[in-house]
Every structure is written in structure tokens, then in C-alpha cells.
Structure 1
Amino acid sequence: MLRARRMADNVVVEAVVGQIVERVFSLAVDELVLVIGVKGELKKLKAVLTHIHAVLQDAEVKQVKENQVKAWLQELKQVSYDAEDVLDEIAYNELKYTTERLNKEKKLPGWLNNLSRLVARFKMAHRIQAINLELHDIDKRKSAFQLKANDQAGASSSLSVQMIDRETTSRLKDNVIGRESDKEDIIKMLINHHHGNNIFLPVIAIVGLGGLGKTTLAQLVYNDDAVKKHFELKVWICVSTNFRTTNLFFQILQQINPNNVVPESSSKQVLLQGLESQLVRQETKKKFLLVLDDDWNENQEMWEDFVFSLRDIVGTGSRIIVTSRDSNVASIRGDQTVHVHQLQGLSEYSCWDIIKSRAFKNGEPVKPSLLEIGKQISDKCKGVPLAAKILGGMLQSKREDHEWEAVRDADFWKVPSDGTKQIMEVLKFSYYNLPSALKSCFSYCAIFPKDYFISRESLIQLWMAQGLLGPSNNSQEEIMEDKGNTYFNTLYSKSFFQEAEMNEYGEVIECKMHDLVHDLAQSICKFECQNFRESNNTIDFSKCRHASFISPKTLKVLTKAKKVRTIFGSGSTSIKFDDGGMVGAIKISSFFKFKLLRVLDLSGFRGSDFSSSLGELKHLRYLDLSDTSIKSLPKWVTQLYHLQTLKLIYCHELVELPEDLMNLKKLRHLFIDDGWKWKKMPQAMGKLNELQTLPVFGACQKNGISVLENLNNLRGALEIRCLDLVREAILVKRANVLSKKSKLRKLKLHWDILSSIGDEGGDFRVLEELQPHPNLHELLIEGFRGVEFPRWMSNGSLLPNLKCMMISNCSNFEHIPSFGELPCLERLEIMNMSDVKSIGGSKDDRMNTTTTPQSSSYSCLEVLHLMSMPNLEEWSKGNEVITFPRLQKLSIANVGGTGVVSITSSLTSLTSLSITLCEDLQFLPEGLLTNNDQLIFLSIYRCPKFQAFKEEGLMVSNSSSLRELQIEMCYALKSIPDVRGLTSLQKLEIRWCQELEMIPKGFWSSLVALESLDIIDCERLKGTIELSPSSKHLREVRIHSCPNLEGFDICSNSSNQQQLVLFSCCRTLKIYDCNAILSIDVRSFASLRELKITGCSGLHALQGLPFLTALEKLSIGSFSPALHYFPPLISEDEGDDAVEFNNLLPSLRKLEIMGWPALQFLPHHLQYLTTLKSLIIEDFTNLTELPEWIGNLASLEKLKIKGCANLTHLPSKKQMQRLTFLMQLRIQGCPLLKDRCRRDGPEWPKISHIPDLRIY
């Protein structure tokens, strides 16, 4: 089956020509006044481009059907690129001349320098003259195509991009429509242990046409809560055409452990060993879900190699989901494929719902007449959601009937109904309807591989480096980054981008492209963009402009492409560089050959040879030196006069930036992080007036922070460090450092708390003059040594947009003012303020003795976090009354007990409450639980004096919302109230409460939603845990180190047969070190996967093991000395003859038995556990030999024998050799057997064939 990219080879030729010509036209106008020496040729260039530009819109339409027009446009595009490069070089030369003149660095006498400049202009004129000749020839040939002129040619109207009719595209989230039943069907197959029970690693294949939503459906399943709980590990891999077992194993390992040190080039065996170390913990294999998205592998041998290798290291119940367009891919899975889920198209109603959600702001047509037309369009989508999304996005800006009718009646619907072809036609149609500027921006994304998360910020900077974000013709004040955001939002709203990751403010920070959309982008730029990770195309080096994922081999080939503009490692360190000439390494000097580079990613370089020759890259605008070993910025970097973006992230050896950095007048984004080692910034940096990104700035003693004075275009986040070195507040005031920076959204001000310089008064005066612009959203203050904050920090009129404030390590405070006047404050964090006694009220309020109360309402506050404030007494001072009408999350750690009461007494809307390390807290404040009827999470941790819930409020219905309750290390807690209303509680944890004596029976009866129960290390806990049969959702029970707990039972009067299904969802039951428990009946836990009952020295009865048919792991032993037999594996009222021994615990994979001193022989029933893969025998001190029937355990892979002091004999050599899968044997603490297992001992021949053998 042909890939969609092959089908799309003739989709789009070079429709971006119009936008490139406009950009060259704009450059020509800009440079005309600067470079008088080439004025005449530039006029000619302007004239011919204007003439050609007039017919480009018609040419872009005709080139789809007329190959001669296509070839004409291709030739025009290449010449346009050449013209742009020449004009760019002219601009560079002028920037260089101006910079050297200002720096007085003329290397030649004045008259000779001017002569040199004239010679350079003369050369440029000749180059433009040659380009003009080519353009005149192209212009003459256009008449043969009978192209129609556009009346608005030269107006550059096509560059404008209308904002969509939405509040903001960045907040648009996809709601999946019409796939609920498909999702439910697949989830049932995943979590039903009977499904595929005879297959160790079943596969579910989701098969369907491209654009039907296979990936979306797999994501719905993958992120479902039930699936998350069912599988211990989940991994998602986009396979595409790159199905190599070693690559897949490496990707799985990377996702499970991001700190993995096993290199990608390792052998399959090494990678599998690394995987096994992650998937097997304490000899238990984890249940694992693997999704292989967009799988095109048709090699059955390769598939079997992958599955057979993987299934040996994953736990029972593991599953694989495969998505593919090719039904052959599913069929080669052979017996492993349990189910092929053939995905069908959506209904026309669902397609119409998708179109409406994207085309209209409120999801409904603004005109009734559009309703019928829209339904006709949705019918033509043939149930393909991608087509509906794309068309809905395209229709956003169309409101007239004739515009919708044009889409309904378009020619692309006439394509024969081959599903993928028709979808590609829809994509083409939507692409053709984009403005020329957006076409260029979209097609550039072909440089990224499939399933790659594209950073919004980086993408805009890359567009800018390629000249795709030229100045707006409508508003000279619209900067390139704002235009880039508009372009990104528009492409996202039109579904060219999807799967967006959002930040905390709901803004898109990264996204992906659907694989068919990616195919479209690659078909457009199949010659220009070469992605060496995926591309199999024959490279036309004359057209190659952009390359990504290079290697030493591909870089050598790439040197043939003389016009490359991008060498990009996609933000990874996968490119290995070296300066020592080693095989498989790249020398940085190799990049000198690419004279036209605009983007160069050298991240990950480990050598020290930063050749000065790279300073000749005159066009370079984007340079990434992140994660390199540089100690100082090379001189040649300061000669890159066009540079816009410089990335120096994770450059931990970098100690300084040069003063010559001021040469980079065009620099807009300088990325450094807080891993820096230098203590100051160059003074000349203040001349970089276009700088917008500067994450970290270091103040110095000499100039303070006056360097920032003129950097008023800074946006995003700024951290100012070492403010303790700034002593002259008057310099800060004079510089007016922050008040004019209207685009800053996040500001962190940092003083070194260990510094001995300065005093608290100096710190206050400096902070007072650092008042930010009112547009600020986040403010962080750390290490400030004043005794009070300046008034602007709590003034709502000065910080009207502030959403988040964080204050930490301000050691001299006793009182913190109220921030209740900040109208938009949503999050407040105050940490490590050990001397603070009160929060709230102004200084005047604290001095006021009147009785008139002053109200302070934190009207928007949703999150409050207080930590390490042990002396806090109250949240108000004087006459202030505090309210928190919207507070949802409250976290209190190491706060004085009276402070806790003061803070929590008036809360009414909490959903989450966490109290930690509050040593004086004895009771929860009265009314806290009853007043907060939406409380979902409650945690009380390490509060040693906490005695009880002061009120019986938990008994009322208000507590019915609580889903998770954690009580840990509350050493004074003696009882839990008789709760009746926790009907929504899903998770209960009681740990290390050593004085807890009683949990009343009534507590358990209302826990109908309980899923997880942990009671651990409660030494004095007595009575019986009686789980309610209503707790049907129970999944995990762990009870250990409760030596006085007397029983574990079910509150039920049901018959035995009814009890079998009481806890059908429960997968794990662990009870150990509970010495007072006499008997346990597990019949009610028929769906258990893991059972552990150990160290219960009083236990003399364990019933119900035969009913655990889904059990995979069993650990039992070390019970009462009175128990002289192994717990029965068959029903006690049946004899051996009545039992199907082949079905004895049919799912059991691991058995650990321990601590039966009285037993001299292993129970004979164990020989029928034929599915067993791991067997551990421990502390059988009277056992003298292992039985011959051990050879019946045909699946056994691991055997461990420990602490069997009298054991002398293993089974016979014949029986040991029957264990053909046995790979590992451990013998520990068995002195008699150890002696006989020496190489010259009588037991050695029985075990010498085992690969992994240890005796100690």
C-alpha cells in the first residue's frame, strides 16, 4: 500500500513563491536608501518583481494542472531565494560597517576603508544585475501561460492573516466526538483478564483509513483512569516506517527511565537487560501496556523477534495496542493478534458537530442558511474526523452562503472515493486556501519528524530566522513574534497542528502534526526539507535548503548542497561532535562550507574547537550552543550581525559573556539558565535594544542593574540575581529599570541569603525602586533582607493583573502585609519565613486601636501554600477581617498550631487540604470539615500532637465529597470517629500512628467507593477490619506491622457462593507482620492478581486459595507453629480425585513460600502449578530434599532456595534437566547443600547447565 506522502507527490509544487517574492520586494525597498551604490540595480529588481508578482495568484492556481507553470514557479522560487540572499548580504555589510565605525575598529585608513566599501557595493551590484537578467527571462516566458494579473498586485495583501473569530485559539481543546463505544470495547479487552488468557502477550490492532482517528482512539484508551490503574507501566511509541527492534527497545527504556544511561547504539541483548532491570522489581514482572502508533511494519520475522523478546520480561496481563492504516500489518501478527478493531467512520451528525465546534465561536451557525449547507458538507466528509476538523477550521473566517457553497461544490470531492486520497485532497484544498505567508510557515514544519512535539516558542524563532515573519504592512508596531503567534494560532485553529500541551494559563506551549498533515508538509517541501531520520527521497542538492537530524555520514553528503539554510538537530543532543578527528565525529569547522546558513543547531558539542571561521556565516540568525562545554563565548559569535536567537542553556562551564555582545544589534532572544557561573553581565549588553528574551540577569556591585534600563522590549520571564550586590537605590530609581517593561509576565528578584554585603535598609530601598509594570502576572521574591515590603507589592491599582506571588527566605520579617487588595491574585506561596508571627493588615492597621473592622477579601485566590513558618500565630492583625471565598487548595507545612486555626477557620470552598509538620496542632479547627462540602483530598502528616478530629463533622453528609484521606505519623492519635458519610472515599491511608487503638466498625460500612486501603505500622491498633461488601470498587489492600490487630473479615451475612464475587475488582491483598490475626478467608477476592500473607505468627487458618483463579503472584508463610500443613489449594470438601489439577491456580507465575519448620516435605499439590515461572523456598529448616516432581514445573525460569539448613539433595539430574526454561538458580544460607554443589560435589552435574547460577 502506498504511503500518503507518495500519493501527495504532486499536491503542492511551490505555492509559496508569492510570499517569497513579496519578502524580496520588501527587502529591496528597505535597502534602497541604505546602499546608494546599488540603487540602480535595486530599482530594476523592484520593477521586474512587481511585474511578475501581479500574475502569481493565477499561476499558483494553474500550476496544479499545468506542469509548465509548475516548472516556471520552481525556477522563479530558486532565483527569488538568490535575490534574497544577495540583499541579506548587503544588509550584513552595512551592519558590519556601522558597528565597526561606532566601535572605532577600522582596520584601514578612512579613505581606504571607504574605497573597500565601494568595491563591495560594486560586487553586489553585479550580482543583482545577474539576478535581474534571470528574472527578466522568467518574466518574458510567463506570457506563454496566459496568466491573469491581480488588481492588487504589489499591495502585499496576501501577507495579512486574519485572526480567527474566537476569544483565543490557544485555549481551544479538542473534545473527541463519536468514539465512546470504540473506547469502551478496547478497554474491556485490555482489563478483562479472561481476554487473551491463553496468549502471553496479546495484541489489539486498531485498523482504519488515515484520518479516522486511530491515534485519537488509542490516546483515549491510554489516558483512561481505569487503564492507568490496571497497568503498572505504560509506554507510547510512534513507529511509522522505523520498525527496528533495537530502536523500539531503546525508546521503551527511555520512556520508562528518562535517566537511562544505556546508549541507543547498544546491542539488543544489552538493551533487553536494561529493560528487564526496569520491568522486573523484586523478581516481579510488571504489567505493561505498550502502544505502537502508526505501525507500517510488514515483516513478520521482525515482529516475532520483537514480541518474543519482550514477552519474557513483562508481567502476565501485559498488552500491546497497534494502530495502522494497513490491514496487512495486523494480519502478520499471526496468533498473537487476539483482536482486530476495524475503525469505522463517524456518522454525518458527528462530523457536523466537529465542523460546528471549529467554524463557529459558540458552536452554532450565525445564519440559519448555513445549517443546511454545513450538513451537506459534513455528509461529504464520509465519516472522517480529520476532514471535518480541517474543513471546520477553514470555514472559521467564512460567513457568507456563497463561501460555504464553494467548499461544498469544490472539485476535490470528485476524486474517486479512495478514502486516503480524498482526505489528502481535503488537506490540499485547505492548504491552498491559506494566505501565502501561512503556507510558507506550515511547509517549513516538514523539517520535524513525525510524532515530534514542536515547541511553539522555538518554531516562531525558526520562522523568524528564515524571514517568514517580515514586518507587517498594516502596523509597523506589530513585532515579528506577535505575528508568529498569530500565524501559530491560526494554523492550530485550522487543525494543521493538534495534540497541544498547555501551560498553567491554558496557552499552547508545544504541539504535534497529524501524520497525514505531516505527509502534506513533506510533499510540499520534499526537495527543500531533508529529515535524515525519516527521508528516503533522492536528494536534489540544488534545491535542498533545510536539513535536520544530521550525522557524520549525512553531513558529508550534505556538503554537496551549497544553498542549505538550516542544519537543525531538532533540539536534541543526538548529534555527536568532536574536535579530535575521531571516526564518527563532526568538526565544527565543517559548517563553514554552508555560507547561506540561517539556522545552526550545535547543541551537545563536547569538543573545544570553536573555529573562528564560523564568523563568516553572514546570514546566521539562529544559533544553538546549548549543552556544550564552552567556557567563554567565541569571538566569532559577536560578528554574526544578523543573529536573532542565541541559546546557551545547560552551558555549565560558561563563566562570562563578552563586552562585544553589544555588536549583535539584531539579537532578540538570549537563552541562559540559572546553572551559570558568572557573577555579572557585560555593561554593553544594555545596548541590545531589540532583546526580548533574557531569562536570567546577574547584578554586579559596580553598575547594579542599570544595564537593564533600555531593555524595555523584554518579555516573558526575567530573573534578577545577586541583588545583594546592588547598594545604590538611587541608580535603580534613575534607571527606571522595570516600570517600562510592559511585556514582562514573570519576575523573580533574588538576594543571596549567605551574602554579608549590605543591610536590610539598603535591600528595602532597592526593592522599593524595582516596581514592575502593571501587566505583570507572576512575582517571586527570594532572600530579601528587609523588615517590610514596599507598598506597591500589595497595591491592587499598581499590580492589577498579578496572578501569582511567591515569597521565600525573607528572614527578617515578623509581619507580612495583606495581599487581599490584589484583584486577580490566584496563587500565593509563602515559604521559609521562620520569624513571621502574623499575616494581614497594613502597618497603620496594626497601630490602630479602634474597633472598626476592615475587610480584606482574597476574591480570586484559589491556591495557598505556607511552609516553614513555625511562629505564625494569626492571619490578621489589628482590625482586618480575612475571607477566602474561592480558595480551593490549601497546603500548610511546619506552621504554628494557632496559625493553622487562624487560617482555616473561615474557609468554605476547599477541595484539597494538606497539613504537614505542624508540631503544635492538636485538633482540626471546628467547622473546617462541615463548612467545606467540596473537600476531595485531606492529608495530615507528621503532626505528632494531633489527637483527633475535634468535631464529629465527618459523620455528616458534608464529608461525602472526600475521595482521599491520608493520616500519617500522627503519634498522639488514638481513635478515628465513627464515620457514616464517606461515601465517595476512594483511597484511605493510615500509617505510623502508633497510639491509634480503635477504628469503629461503623467506619467501614459507608466506604462504598473505596479503591485502595493502607493501614501500616499502627502498633496498638486492636479489633477487626471488617470490609463492607458494598466496597465493590476495592482494588488494593495493604495491612502490615499491626501486631495487635485481631482480624480481617468481611461484613456480610451472604452465602459462600455470593461472597465469591464481593470484591471482583480487587487485584492486590497484602497482610504481613500482624501476629494477632488467627484466620483469613480470601474467597471474596476471586480476581486477585497478587496475594501476600507473611509474618503472621498467630495465623493457623488460611482459606479460599483454590478460588483465586486469576492469581499471578503468591507469597505465604511464617505462620503459627501450630500450622503443620500447607494451606490447601483445593476445596476442603473435595478429594483429590475430584480436582482438575491442570487448572490449579492456572494464572500463577510466582510462588514464594517460607517459614514452615514443621514440614519435612514440600506439599505435593505444588507440582500441578505448571504455569509457574518463579519459585522461592525459604526457611524450611526440616526440609532435607527437593522432590522429584519439581521436574513437572515445565515453565520454571527462576528457582531460589534460602535458609534451608538441613537441605542436602536436589532432584535427580534427569528431573533438573526437564526444566528447559530454567535460567537462574540461587542457593543461599543452605550450608549442607552448598557443600554438595561445589564443582567436584555430587550435586554439581545437576545444575552445571544453568546459565545464571549463584551459591552463597
Structure 2
Amino acid sequence: MEIFGSVLLLVPCFPPVSATFPQPSRSLEAFATVGGGPIQARKQGFLGLDGRKELELIGVECFNNLVMRSFFHDLRKDKDGHIYYCKMHDLVHDLAQFITDKECFLIEMKSNNDGDQLHNNKKFRYLSLVSGEEAMNSIPTLSELCNLQTLKLDNCEYLSKLPQGIGKLINLRHLEIENTVCLNCLPQEIRRLTSLRTLNRFFASEGCKIGELKNLNLLQGSLEITRLKRVENKSESYEAGLKNKQDVRSLVLEFSDDSLGGVKEVERMEDVLQGLEPHPNLEKLSIYEYPGFKLPSWMSDNSVLSNLQSLSLSCCWKLRQLPPTLWKLPFLEIIEIDLLPNWEEWTMGVEEDGVIISTTILPCLRNLVISSCPKLKTLPALGKLASLESIKIEGLQGLTHWDEWELGVDGKEIKIMPCLRILKLYKCPNLSVVLATGVLVSLEQLSVHSSRKIKYIGELCEGGGSDGNDLFPELESLEFGGMENLEECETRRTIIKHRQIMPCLRSLVLWHCPMLVAPPHHLFLLPHISPPLLRKLVIGDSPFLSWMQQPPLPPSSYVLLPFLEELELLYNAGSLSRSLLSPDNSQMWFLNLKSLILTGSPHTSLPQGIGQLTMLQRLTIRSWNRMTYMSEEIQHMAMLRELRILCCEILGPRCQEGAADWGKISYIPSIIVGGIFVEHQ
């Protein structure tokens, strides 16, 4: 009986779910995600009242059951495991559409006359409108559709106002207005829609004040409130009753700070934000263009943000500090801070002489982004943030004392940020030494850009690997760019005792390092247990870089790069711009290279030895105005399948069909010269 009942429950659910799939693709994309799962039938009233569960939750269960019974296929899931895309068979789709002919509609609006289709049937429960016409800036009245539960207006880019009489749709549960870029106000009667579960955006205005949200306490999922600069005071913002909206999980507060400047205006906005205290169930908070000097007191109350998982602050021009209690939030996973030009100080509030004295700081933090905060003078010690997986730090010109990374842990600590996989350091001009990253046993990607004071890579701590031997044991991608004073990629400690360094490295990028004289030799020289696994190598604008020639070693000490598949040389790449051979011209470094890109070389011909790239399949030559002819060596590349010559003033015309160098390249199946494509059978 239990199984039989489950099937009976699915019978009324199946048609609306299926019928709303758009034709002709029979595919569903980006279903609304109220309650966490992608399904539309839950919004269409075909599910009977349970008394114990919201219809949306019942709908999720029904959809999942239909998936289990193979009504849908080609499923795609997001990072949280929710299905956001699926397909169905044509026959199933057509049957469902036939059954729900008078109850589910997808209408493409090309003019206001198309709205006449809406008045012929009052049974509509689900209505999705699609408009791509500029003239279609409004929708006829829908007040007669008293049974309507879902109105989907997403991507109606020219829609500037909502339908008349929308306040009469007392059964409306979902009003979806994502990507309606011309819509900038809501009707005042929105306050009557007390059954609403979904309202993506709310625009504070004189015609529809923020207090109209007061009775919409069943809202779920995400809520974005914009134009908060139009709110008069704390009392008005408090009227929105955000504290009472226990099912709102994501809250975006946008002030659109384009006209505020006076002290009184700033204080008014501080009061407005104070009145927007959310319910403690909130999981994601984003604040944009906030003009205040300080954040509200409720952001220092950990009981209010006790369930917060993500915090984003952007374009808060006057903000000077963050709450020190922020570090005590137990479930916070993501912190993103961008464009806070007056933010000067940030501490964890639990430090003593730079060392964290508590072990329970942000136990769940996975992702930290700090960018464009030029006045920030100090960073909190990060060494004990054990869950951190990704760090991006960019545009911190004010860190005058950040000569080395202060990890803030006792010297006896062995594991520092054991889960860190991605580390990006951009535009930190006062950083002079790259930290001892060798102890980051899980690090997979290291990028350091535009830090012109760095002259060498910092000391690699001994015992970096889990077995006390390997350093950077999991590193797959290493990138240094815009390092004007970087002279060497070696470390200050001897590396002979270590078994391997970066044994998993797949990608190495060195660009605009004009003082760099040698790559990291320990990646390429014997003794090695196995050859380097490097797949991609990019070198650019590093004219003094001498590949494998310093220190001078006998040929028996060289290790080739047998797995390298992609090589890109930009502008002056040092010795590789001249030759791809070993120093004694006896060996080719890149035996299995498949793709080679050469951009803006200062020389007049292709690198020596290019004809020995017998496995090369794709060759791109671009912006190379000094190259006057095509080398004869290109005729020796038997596997070459594609040649691109782009923005080459002299070489380009010579390589066009029938021109001087055409005979050297005519054997290649696919040739692109400028914008002209030639393909041979």
C-alpha cells in the first residue's frame, strides 16, 4: 500500500512537471530553487495539501521520485547535488502537454495583443512569459487569474512594470523576476500577496516603500533588496520585518551609493542598515555600495548570524573596520571582501603577539577573498584556519610590514592550513618574500602576480611533505607574473636532501619577469625518481631567462619533458625564443609537444630545432612583425594539422595561397592566415 500510494501521489504531479518543458528541445534548465530542489510542479497547485509539509517540499519529493522512475534523463547537478537541468522523451512530453492543455502555459509575448491569450481561462496555475521584444515593456492585467500560483517573468529584459491588478492574485506563491533589467519598481499592492514564497528582488521606492514587505513572512530562498538609499530612516527599514522571515536563506542589500556624501546622509544609511536585521536562519549575506563608516550592531551579535555560511562586502567606500567577533561564527564558509578603500584594520580579536590563542576560530571557513583594499595595514594570522581551501589576496598596497607571511602559529606546529588547495597573491607591492609554502601539504595552485619587490622564493620548510621528504607534494599549477625584480626561483635552503619537489606539477607559467635568469632547476634536473609530469609551459617577457644553462651541468644531468603537450612563448622568452634544443644542441626538450604558440618574438625566424617537433599538431604564430619568411623546418613536421598566422604584417601575405611561402605549408590540412581559412582534404 505504501508503494501504491507513492505512485498515486506522482500521478497528479507528472503532467505539470512535464508539460512546462520548452519545445522543441524537450529540455529543462534553471528550474526555480525554492526549498533547495529544481521543480516546477510544486508551484502549480497539482499537489494536494498535506498539512505537515509545504507544497514545495512535497514537489521536490515527487520530482525525485519521477527521476528514479526514469521520466527524466541527462541530469545535471550543481555543487550541492540539486538537479538544475534534465531532458524527457518526446512522447512523454506530448502526453503531459495534452493533459494540462488548460492549466499550464508557456507564452512568448511579442506584443501586447498576445496578452489576450491570458483571459480565456481562469484555471491557470502556472504562467511563464517570454519576451524578447523591445516594444513589450508591460503585461496586460492578470487580475482575472485568481488561481494563479506561479508567475515566471525571468529574462523579460524589456519589462519595465508588472501587470495591473497583481495584488488580486491572492493565491500567488512565486513571483520570479530574475534578469528583468528594465524593471525598477514594484506596485504598492505587492503587500497583499501574503502567500508569496518567492520574490527575487524588491526595489525600495517612494511608490513602494520597504515596509510593504512587512506581511510577506512566508518568503523563502533568496531576497535582494535594492535602492536602499531611498529608505528614509531606521523605523522605515525596520518595518520590512526581515527578522520575521525565517525561511529567507540568502539576503542581498544594495544601497546604490551614487549620490551620498554628507555626514548626515551617512548616518541615515547606518541607521537604515541597523533596521534590516535578518532572522538567525540566514545563511548568506551580501552588502553592496554601503556608504556607512561602521557596520550595524547586529553584525557583531553572533546569535543573529549564528547560521551564516557566506559573507560578501563590496564597494563599501567609507567602511573602516569589520566586527572582531566575525571570527567566532561557527558555520561561516566564505568571506569575500572587495573594494573597501578606507578599511584599515582587521584582527581576529583573539591574538596575542600575533599568535592565535584560540583553536575554534572559523572552523568551517573554506574560501577567503580580499581585494582592492589599499589602506589595509595588517592581516590577521591565518595559520590556524584549518579548513581553508582557497585564499585570494589582491590589491593590498597598504601592507607595509608584510615582508613575510605571518602565519601566527607556534614554531612547533607541523600542519599549517592542511586543506589549502589554492593560493593567489596579486598586486601586493610591499611583499618582498614568498612565504614558506612548502609546508602547505595540500596546495594545488600557487599564483603570485605584480609583487615587484620579490627577489626570491622564500625558504622551504623542512618536513614539508607528509613523509618528511616531498615539498609541494600536491602542487599542480605554479604561476609567477609581473615580478619585476624576481631573480631566481630557487630556495635559500639546500634541496639535495629532499626526494622530490613539486612531483605533481602540471602547469608552469612565468611571464613578465624581466630580471629572472633561470627557471626552477630542481623541477627538471636529475636525480628524479620519475620524469617531470609537466603538461603546460608558458614563458613570456623574460628576456634574460636562460633555459637549463645555469648552473652549467653536463648533458647527463638534464631531464627532458616527455609529457609536455602545450608550450606558449610570448614576446621575448629568453633562450627558448632562439632555440628549443639543449645547450649543446644535442637533444630536444619537448619530445611529445602537441601545441606551440609563438607571440611577438623579437627575432626574425622560428626557434632553432622547431623542425624536430615531430609530434606537433597545432602551431600558432601571431603578432610577429619581425619574421620575414617561413622557415624550411616547418616542412619536417609530419603530424602538423593546423597552422594559424595572425596579425603578422610580413609573414601573413607570404603565406597566403599561391604566395612565396605557400609551398612550404600547403601540406597542412587546416591553415588560417589573417581571417582567411583554407582547408585541404
Q: TM-score range by the shorter chain?
A: 0.7 to 0.9
Question: What do the CA deviations read for 1:75-100 (whole angstroms, capped 9, x no partner)?
Answer: xxxxxxxxxxxxxxxxxxxxxxxxxx
Q: Does 1:924 find its partner at 2:434?
A: yes
Residues 902/996 of structure 1: CA separation in 2 closer, same or farther (3 Å cut): closer
- Report deviation, 1:964: 0.7
**Residue among 1017, 1020, 1027 paired with 2:541:** 1017
Q: Hey, what does 1:1112 align to over in structure 2? A: 641
Q: Hey, what does 2:148 align to over in structure 1? A: 643
Q: Hey, what does 2:413 align to over in structure 1? A: none
**Residue among 358, 361, 366 paired with 1:862:** 366
Separation in 2, partners of 1:1101, 1:716: 61
Q: Aligned letter for 1:869?
A: C
Residues 497-508 of structure 1: matches in 2 within 5 Å?
497-508=72-83
Q: Does 1:1066 find its partner at 2:593?
A: yes
- Report deviation, 1:886: 0.8
Secondary structure at the residue paired with 1:435?
helix
Q: Aligned letter for 1:721?
A: T
- Report deviation, 1:1069: 3.2
**Residue among 488, 494, 504 paired with 1:975:** 488
Residues 517-528 of structure 1: matches in 2 within 5 Å?
521=92, 526=95
Q: Does 1:874 find its partner at 2:378?
A: yes
Separation in 1, partners of 2:8, 2:162: 40
TM-score (norm 1): 0.45
Residues 654-733 of structure 1: matches in 2 within 5 Å?
654-657=159-162, 660-673=165-178, 675-677=180-182, 679-701=184-206, 704-733=209-238
Q: Does 1:908 find its partner at 2:437?
A: no
> Which residues of structure 2 form unaligned runs of 5+?
410-415, 550-554
**Residue among 554, 561, 568 paired with 1:1031:** 561
Q: Hey, what does 1:373 align to over in structure 2? A: none
Residues 1091/669 of structure 1: CA separation in 2 closer, same or farther (3 Å cut): closer
Residues 952/1097 of structure 1: CA separation in 2 closer, same or farther (3 Å cut): farther
Question: What do the CA deviations read for 1:963-983 (whole angstroms, capped 9, x no partner)?
Answer: 111111222222221676122
**Residue among 45, 50, 59 paired with 1:484:** 59
Secondary structure at the residue paired with 1:766?
helix
Secondary structure at the residue paired with 2:272?
helix
**Further displaced range: 1025-1034 or 636-645:** 1025-1034
2:562–2:591 Cα contact (<8 Å) kept = yes
**Residue among 943, 946, 969 paired with 2:454:** 946
Residues 1021/727 of structure 1: CA separation in 2 closer, same or farther (3 Å cut): same
- Report deviation, 1:813: 1.8
TM-score (norm 2): 0.79
- Report deviation, 1:784: 1.6
Separation in 2, partners of 1:451, 1:651: 21
Q: Does 1:895 find its partner at 2:396?
A: yes
Separation in 1, partners of 2:38, 2:359: 46
Q: Hey, what does 1:426 align to over in structure 2? A: none
- Report deviation, 1:961: 1.7
Q: Aligned letter for 1:436?
A: L
Secondary structure at the residue paired with 1:834?
coil
- Report deviation, 1:495: 4.4
Residues 471/676 of structure 1: CA separation in 2 closer, same or farther (3 Å cut): same
Q: Hey, what does 2:479 align to over in structure 1? A: 966
Residues 207-222 of structure 1: matches in 2 within 5 Å?
none
Question: What do the CA deviations read for 1:664-684 (whole angstroms, capped 9, x no partner)?
Answer: 101111111354445543222
Q: Hey, what does 2:442 align to over in structure 1? A: 934
Separation in 1, partners of 2:298, 2:16: 46
2:225–2:253 Cα contact (<8 Å) kept = yes
Q: Aligned letter for 1:747?
A: L
**Residue among 748, 754, 761 paired with 2:258:** 754
1:865–1:890 Cα contact (<8 Å) kept = yes
1:1177–1:1200 Cα contact (<8 Å) kept = no
Separation in 2, partners of 1:935, 1:977: 18
Q: Hey, what does 2:524 align to over in structure 1? A: 1004
Q: Does 1:772 find its partner at 2:282?
A: no
Secondary structure at the residue paired with 1:883?
coil
**Residue among 300, 321, 326 paired with 1:815:** 321
Separation in 1, partners of 2:186, 2:25: 40
Q: Aligned letter for 2:641?
A: E
- Report deviation, 1:998: 2.9
Secondary structure at the residue paired with 1:784?
coil
1:966–1:988 Cα contact (<8 Å) kept = yes
Structure number, greater radius of gyration? 1
Residues 952/663 of structure 1: CA separation in 2 closer, same or farther (3 Å cut): same
- Report deviation, 1:916: 1.6
Residues 125-204 of structure 1: matches in 2 within 5 Å?
none
Answer 1 or 2: which has greater helix percent: 1
Q: Hey, what does 2:552 align to over in structure 1? A: none
Separation in 2, partners of 1:510, 1:813: 41
**Residue among 341, 358, 383 paired with 1:834:** 341
Residues 1028/1076 of structure 1: CA separation in 2 closer, same or farther (3 Å cut): farther
Question: What do the CA deviations read for 1:813-847 (whole angstroms, capped 9, x no partner)?
Answer: 221123221111111101100111122346xx89x
1:674–1:696 Cα contact (<8 Å) kept = no
- Report deviation, 1:638: 2.2
Q: Aligned letter for 1:808?
A: S
Q: Hey, what does 2:303 align to over in structure 1? A: 797
Q: Aligned letter for 2:608?
A: I
1:1079–1:1099 Cα contact (<8 Å) kept = no
Separation in 2, partners of 1:498, 1:1030: 47
Q: Aligned letter for 1:1035?
A: E
Q: Does 1:886 find its partner at 2:383?
A: no
Q: Hey, what does 1:263 align to over in structure 2? A: none
Separation in 1, partners of 2:628, 2:470: 39
Question: What do the CA deviations read for 1:283-337 (whole angstroms, capped 9, x no partner)?
Answer: xxxxxxxxxxxxxxxxxxxxxxxxxxxxxxxxxxxxxxxxxxxxxxxxxxxxxxx
2:524–2:558 Cα contact (<8 Å) kept = yes
Residues 1044/752 of structure 1: CA separation in 2 closer, same or farther (3 Å cut): closer
Secondary structure at the residue paired with 2:509?
strand
Residues 869/903 of structure 1: CA separation in 2 closer, same or farther (3 Å cut): farther
Question: What do the CA deviations read for 1:726-748 (whole angstroms, capped 9, x no partner)?
Answer: 12212333x36111212111110
1:455–1:511 Cα contact (<8 Å) kept = no
2:16–2:46 Cα contact (<8 Å) kept = no
> Which residues of structure 1 form unaligned runs of 5+?
1-157, 163-396, 398-431, 530-543, 547-563, 566-597, 1117-1149, 1157-1161, 1163-1172, 1181-1185, 1202-1221, 1226-1256
Q: Aligned letter for 1:617?
A: N
- Report deviation, 1:1022: 3.6
Separation in 2, partners of 1:1098, 1:687: 72
Separation in 2, partners of 1:709, 1:885: 41
2:38–2:84 Cα contact (<8 Å) kept = no
Q: Aligned letter for 1:1088?
A: L
- Report deviation, 1:697: 0.2
Q: Hey, what does 1:1254 align to over in structure 2? A: none
Separation in 2, partners of 1:1199, 1:674: 39
- Report deviation, 1:616: 4.3
1:994–1:1019 Cα contact (<8 Å) kept = yes
Separation in 2, partners of 1:477, 1:916: 52
Q: Hey, what does 1:439 align to over in structure 2? A: 11
- Report deviation, 1:451: 6.1
